[in-house]
């Protein structure tokens, strides 16, 4: 699989989530993730969720910034969506 090829677990998601995946870099800061999803979750709220163990599962520290792995962030977001 090439670096920008959409993984099968992302291909199985709704088109809107696939589009979010395509817009994100492979490592995405909380701020950029928040911006890309329309500030549904603020960077600060994502930090709080991380501290509670309820945020995206795969994250790394780059310098002083916490970054999420793109697929983990989108899969986490998919898990937050509930139909009304």
pLDDT band at 84 (very low <50, low <70, confident <90, very high): confident
d(CA 83, CA 53) in angstroms, rounded, equals 24
Q: Tell me phi and psi for residue 29, to 5 degrees.
A: -70, 165
* pTM listed for this prediction: 0.89
The string of pLDDT tens digits covering residues 36-59 is 999 999 999 999 999 999 999 999
DSSP reduced 3-state for 1: coil
């Amino acid at each position: 699989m090439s670096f920008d090829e959409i993984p099968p677990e992302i291909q199985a998601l709704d088109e809107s989530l696939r589009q979010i995946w395509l817009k994100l870099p492979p490592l995405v800061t909380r701020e950029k993730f928040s911006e890309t999803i329309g500030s549904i979750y603020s960077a600060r709220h994502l930090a709080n969720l991380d501290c509670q163990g309820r945020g995206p599962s795969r994250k790394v520290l780059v310098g002083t910034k916490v970054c999420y792995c793109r697929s983990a962030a989108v899969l986490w977001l998919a898990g937050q969506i509930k139909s009304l």
